Amino acid sequence: MASGEALTSSGYIVHHLTNLTVGHGFWTFHLDSLLVSGLLGLLAFVGMAKLARNATAGVPGGLQTFVEMLVSFIDQQVKDTYHGKSPLVTPMAITIFVWVLLMNTMDLIPVDFVPLVLGWGGVHYFKSVPTTDPNLTFGMSLTVFAIMLIMGIKVKGVGGFLHEVFTVPFGAKMAPVNLLFRIIEDIAKPISLSLRLFGNMYAGEMVFILIALLGLWQLPLALPWALFHILIITLQAFVFMMLTIVYLSMASESHG
């Protein structure tokens, strides 16, 4: 922990909300967000692959049962929401939910634990919750947005996609207005998708930091908030997943 900032409440808060960065200006990379999200993604991939290899058709273990229930639940959500035909949507939904849930779960680690351990190695700033970084959540939402556009063009064709852009909802005579509305709608999707996840997780992390400032008095507050926060981190992963499915469904539907 930086020596001067740790002495005041404001310095303590700034310390815990400062990313480990490299580079300058636009090309500043948040190494903590990239490292933690990458390791958790690798953990999810390796864990699910290992579980799939060891899956049994007989009496499943507890972890296999949980994963099967999770996959069945998400698959049902996709069937109820996505009205097109694509083998990509269900695997993507599962990947998004598991990955975002793992990143959100990092918020349950005590706020002083990771900075204290890394501080012994000379790393003074490190945010261990990637989803409290708007750069990461916005990057994820832009990826979803790009897939949405690609899927829309693939399903409708270039001509059908452009026809929808310029004729919906007011017809071809109002093409400039239709285009303006479409641009606003499309810009709002990734922004709202990213800010919803970031805002909720950032607020939750801030509450943990404020509770930690209470010293020993934090004990009766930290556990109840952590238990309540389990609902938040799960709900936010579910919301991000569901909005992704909805956007892909909208991209696959024809309005012509």
d(CA 105, CA 117): 19
DSSP 208: H
Angular region, 127: left φ>0, alpha ψ -120 to 50, beta rest: beta
Local structure of 30: helix, strand or coil: strand
- Please report how the helices 31-53 and 62-81 are oriented relative to each other, as an axis angle in degrees rounded to 10: 110
Residue type, 240: F
- Report how far apart, in Å, the C-alpha atoms of 10 and of each of 14, 17, 112, 117 are: 6, 11, 15, 21
Q: What proportions of the chain, in percent to the nearest 5, are helix, strand and coil?
A: 80, 0, 20
User: Dihedral (C-alpha) 240, 30, 184, 253: value to the nearest 10 degrees?
Assistant: -40
DSSP H or E stretch at residue 89: helix 89-105
Burial of 26 (0-12, 13-18, 19+ CB in 10 A): exposed
Query: What are 1's two structure tokens?
Result: 């922990």
Positions annotated as catalytic residues are 192, 196, 200
